[in-house]
A = this chain, B = another copy of it.
Amino acid sequence: MPIITIEGPKASKEQKKELIEKITKVASECYNLPEQAITISIYENPMDNVGVGGKQLSDMH
């Protein structure tokens, strides 16, 4: 632990690599814990499956 779950749009391997590297670094510094203790899971949710303000993202973009 810590465990960080990121729910976001479709992303490339490079974007996910960057998210993992940079967010692990921030969490390690803020919690004063070794990077090795930090696990990150990324979920890519299609726009039909996400709503903000009662609207489907796919109807807003």
Contacts and interface: CB of A to CB of B under 8 A. Distances in A.
Interface of A: 1-9, 11, 13, 15-28, 30-31, 33-45, 48-59
A16 to B, nearest CB: 5
Nearest to A53: B36
Copies of the protein in its oligomer: 6
Contacts of A44: 49
A4 B3 contact: no
Given A2-B6, A7-B2, A48-B13, A53 B24 contact: yes
A50 B41 contact: yes
Given A16-B56, A20-B54, A35-B54, 15 more contacts: A1-B57, A2-B6, A3-B39, A4-B23, A8-B27, A19-B30, A21-B54, A23-B27, A24-B53, A38-B54, A39-B50, A40-B50, A40-B52, A41-B49, A42-B51
